[in-house]
Structure 1
Amino acid sequence: GDKVSTVRKGMEELNNLVLKLVDIIMQLAPFGVYGLIGKTFATLGYTAMLPLLKYFIGVIIVLLLHYLITYQSLLIFVAKYNPIKFLKKFSGPMMVAFSTSSSSATLPSSMETMQDEFGVSKTISSFTLPLGSTINMDGTAIMQGVATIFIAQIYGVNLTMGDFVTVIITATLASIGTAGVPGVGVIMLGMVLQQVGLPLEGMALVMGIDRFVDMFRTTVNITGDAVCTLIVARTEGELKGEEVAASVKKNKLA
């Protein structure tokens, strides 16, 4: 009631402040990316670009396979939803994620799309999407696994089967603890490298191009959040029909 109105207003103002800070960081991010890539070229030279290109392509291929196999299967067999329709409706948040590389910055767009386009109730979307943007980082876990193998090859370290299991477990745990802001995934990579005895300096090898990788893995991350939201909404009976969603969207615009 009225007793908590001051606290609520303070939290809303704090939220607006954080969003404004994120907006400022997004405007400065291109200069940081330019500096990182420039440093990579200056310190490693053009000879390092081919291995980095292979690493980049490798991550993209695995992310694409994860999207096509894991997410599409969940959409078809669990959420009972057409993958083509899903892609058309959710393309907006995916583009926001691709351009900002931030799950947190994409959250408002994702919530609005899930409610207006898919007919997911606000009760479900307001719980699953913020939770997913915090702990559901499939793309980040994939990047950390591929980056660890890449760095091990650069330093000539042969990873055992036990090391691979350690990388899988540690990368998964590290991705859960990763914040939904740009560039944090490569910082959490240090935890994975330590677990298999690789030098932390190896992070510098991938940091220069991480912004580009981050754009793709963030897109995969928020897509996973949306798929999980559809599954929960379907199982809980909170998924409205497309006609109802269109009507709600029309009334909101009016």
Structure 2
Amino acid sequence: MENYAVFAIVSLAAILLAGIGYFHLHKFSFTKLVFISLALGVVFGFGIQFIYGATGKITTNAIDWINIVGNGYIALLQMLIIPLIFVSLVGAFTKLKVSQNLRRISFSVLSTLLITTAIAAFIGILSVFAFHLQGASFINGAPDKANLAILKQHQSQLTGLTLPQQIVSFLPVNIFADFAGTRATSTISVVIFSLFVGVAFLYVRKNNPEPAKTFADFIEALHQIVSRIVHLVLQLTPYGIFALMAKATATDSIEAIGNLGIFIIAAYAALLVVLIVHTIILVANKVNPVVYYKKVWPALIFAFTSRTSAGTLPLNVQIQEKSLGIDSAIANFAASFGLTIGQNGCAGVYPAMIATIIAPTVGINVVSVQWVLTLIAVVTISSFGVAGVGGGSTFTTLMVLGTLNLPITIMGVIIAIDPIVDMARTLVNVNDSIVAGVVTARQTKSLDTDTLADSTKIVESVI
């Protein structure tokens, strides 16, 4: 009987996926198709949970089959992270017209990302105070053993390392191992290596133009190949989103969501305030927020539904260049750095909230100025190296908790509803990287205001 039920659920999922495929083949609007897939996945998942329960054997087995699509989609996105970062960052150097601009561009992008992360951390702390979450008394129930085991496995990679030692771990020791993603800090290591390659290229271009041109042509060819692979993978987005949302809503119990509902509301409130801060920065840089959000909306929606900053990178860069009038080199720097440094949602708001919730359980006065400033500093420094895929915030948060000697047990409860919060976190991450591009383009006087003002120049998709 159980096998028949599993077969029926998987068959229905296949029919729904086929329906999505039908609309996809008939050139249905990609943004609308993503929303439809999201809605179908949510309804389908909750339907499974309502009939068979969140932890029932039928639910578990059926979702295991359905999630071949979801896990496969995430695996393909993770496959692209390292190549994307390398070709985008090195490509940014090859596209720099004047080497002297490198310092100004890098400083502007990094300072924008890190300053907004510090602000986001402060907002996360205030959100905990506003919703009275400090002390974690709002949580009912013990942490899930499986989730706790995953957290401890991640934590083992940081055991015995001080914050300075953790920073040193960002440096590449064996770049081929980091290209293979063998460490939790492999992403930031590849970023650092790419920067070295880029700086070396500028030196060679100045002193020996011919080999530099050959290398630049190679990087451009590699960039086009990687971009084409990205296009192929992103065509799977509606199907991946359906499967991922079906899994999240079928296996995250309604009771757990209800118990942690106040945390979800507090997190979304904090992330909304961060977006308001981004808007203020845009206004300060003489950018019309209405025009801006109309143009970046496709990237934000993609980030929200896919939960991956890395997967949004190609669309992020295209929107900066073609819709906002940002120089290609700046767009690549801002989008690439934004994948691994200073993510406002995953590396700013979230770890600050978790630490402030947990700290009172070990006797820390979280309303003291010393605690607030210490936490903001630790969060900002730890924001280096966060991975641009779903779950990257877990490692960053564990780094913060480990540095402050805070327990992780309560996090094992909160992680149960992580996908719900992660959607908004990823949206904020991507928006911050685009804002960094706008600010840098304005400061370097390279922002094409005609393109920015042209309401017809909107990039909806890279597909």
Asked if TM exceeds 0.5, the reply is: yes
Q: Deviations over 1:107-148 (max 9, x none)?
A: 111111111111112122122221122213111211111122
* 1:67 pairs with 2:275: yes
1:144 maps to 351
1:106 is displaced (CA, Å) by 0.7
1:94 is displaced (CA, Å) by 0.5
User: Does the 8 Å contact 2:322/2:451 carry over to 1?
Assistant: no
Change (3 A) 1:30 1:20: farther
- Specify which of 305, 328, 337 is matched with residue 99 of structure 1: 305
Q: TM-score, normalised by structure 1?
A: 0.78
Q: Deviations over 1:23-65 (max 9, x none)?
A: 8898364466357625xx7xxxx3x655511111111111111
Matches within 5 A, 1:211-250: 211-243=419-451
1:163 is displaced (CA, Å) by 3.7
Cα distance in 2 between the residues matched to 1:247 and 1:235: 23
Cα distance in 1 between the residues matched to 2:451 and 2:300: 23
Residue type of the partner of 1:208?
Answer: A
- Specify which of 287, 295, 307 is matched with residue 81 of structure 1: 287
Change (3 A) 1:89 1:51: same
User: Does the 8 Å contact 2:451/2:457 carry over to 1?
Assistant: no
**Any unmatched runs of 5+ in structure 1?**
none
* 1:159 pairs with 2:364: yes
- Specify which of 252, 262, 273 is matched with residue 37 of structure 1: 252
User: Does the 8 Å contact 1:186/1:203 carry over to 2?
Assistant: no
1:249 is displaced (CA, Å) by 5.8
Residue type of the partner of 1:150?
Answer: I
Change (3 A) 1:240 1:97: same
**Any unmatched runs of 5+ in structure 2?**
1-210, 459-463
- SS across alignment from 2:364: coil
1:179 is displaced (CA, Å) by 0.9
Cα distance in 2 between the residues matched to 1:112 and 1:15: 11
Identity of aligned residues (%): 25
* 1:122 pairs with 2:328: yes
1:197 maps to 405
1:209 maps to 417
State which structure, 1 or 2, has the greater radius of gyration over its C-alpha atoms: 2
Residue type of the partner of 1:149?
Answer: T
- SS across alignment from 1:81: coil
* 1:131 pairs with 2:346: no
Range that drifts further, 157-166 or 186-195: 157-166
1:7 is displaced (CA, Å) by 8.1
Residue type of the partner of 1:74?
Answer: I
Change (3 A) 1:193 1:244: closer
Q: TM-score, normalised by structure 2?
A: 0.45
Change (3 A) 1:198 1:16: farther
- SS across alignment from 2:292: helix
Q: Deviations over 1:184-214 (max 9, x none)?
A: 1023211222233322222211111111111
Cα distance in 2 between the residues matched to 1:110 and 1:101: 14
- Specify which of 172, 175, 185 is matched with residue 393 of structure 2: 185
How many residues are treated as equivalent by the alignment? 239
Change (3 A) 1:111 1:80: same
Over the residues paired in the alignment, what is the CA RMSD in angstroms? 3.3
Residue type of the partner of 1:115?
Answer: E
1:170 maps to 378
- SS across alignment from 1:201: coil
User: Does the 8 Å contact 1:36/1:208 carry over to 2?
Assistant: no
